[in-house]
Amino acid sequence: MNIALLGYGKMGQLIEKIATQSGHSIIYIANSKHSVDDIDFSKIDVAIDFSTPTTAFKNISTTLAQAVPVVSGTTGWLDKMEDINQLTTKNNTAFLYASNFSVGVNLFFELNKKLKSIMDSHPQYKTHIREIHHTEKLDAPSGTALSLQSQIDKNTPIDSERIKGVPGTHFVEYTSDIDTISISHEAHNRNGFAKGALMAAEWIVNKKGIFKMSDVLKL
């Protein structure tokens, strides 16, 4: 599989390492020095986007315009998601966005939805989300926290904390005057995110449509 990396920060570099170990080829890397406009898309099977909130839309839209499927994990640009969905359909290609590609986090999403369905009949509990990430993370709250919130209630408060060296930790808490019920997910490193993104890229080649990580994992 020939891959274009859109963005070459820590995630992009880790995906390059894991993809190469898996026998795939990184054909092009778009970053601050090399524009997405310079890619020869005829040689690309799929693009993986882990760029920045300010560059993601251009990277993704330029790639989709060439009918090349895109897997994106960049957060902070989702106000333009409908434009990307329309472009995907127009060019008869494929797009998959995930706020988090970790298999464990996507299982955590399913657990979050299940707990919410149980707690709906117990209104004495108030919900609260906490997330902790490394200091290099550019957006807050995290995309994962926003996904958790969307599964519960848009008014659920989110507290964000940035601590050096923390890959990502999320807590969902239900608190009453009597007690607290909580679930959490803690990433030990970035490997799960990179492996999940590569899994999604392998899965989406030759598909058409707009997908989620739950489609890849058949959840």
Domain boundaries, the chain: 2-100+191-217, 103-186
Per-residue model confidence (pLDDT) at position 44: 97
Catalytic residue ranges: 133, 137
Q: Cα Rg for the chain, rounded, in angstroms? A: 18
Per-residue model confidence (pLDDT) at position 138: 75
Per-residue model confidence (pLDDT) at position 101: 93
Q: Name residue 162's amino acid.
A: R
Q: How far apart are CA 186 and CA 165, in angstroms?
A: 13
165 burial level (CB within 10 Å; 0-12, 13-18, 19+): exposed
How much is the pTM?
0.83
Between 75 and 27, the higher pLDDT residue: 27
Which architecture, in CATH terms, is 2-100+191-217? 3-Layer(aba) Sandwich (3.40)
Per-residue pLDDT tens for 133-146? 998 887 889 989 99
Beta bridge partners of 29: 5
Per-residue model confidence (pLDDT) at position 179: 98
pLDDT of 124 strictly over 90: yes
74-81 average pLDDT score:
92
Region 103-186: CATH code: 3.30.360.10
Percent of the chain with pLDDT over 90: 91
pLDDT of 6 strictly over 80: yes
Q: Residue 219 — very low, low, confident or very high, per pLDDT cuts 50/70/90? A: confident
- Coil, strand or helix at 161: strand
Q: How far apart are CA 159 and CA 209, in angstroms?
A: 34
Per-residue model confidence (pLDDT) at position 199: 97
- Coil, strand or helix at 173: strand
pLDDT of 160 strictly over 80: yes
Per-residue pLDDT tens for 91-116? 999 999 998 899 999 999 999 999 99
Q: Residue 53 — very low, low, confident or very high, per pLDDT cuts 50/70/90? A: very high
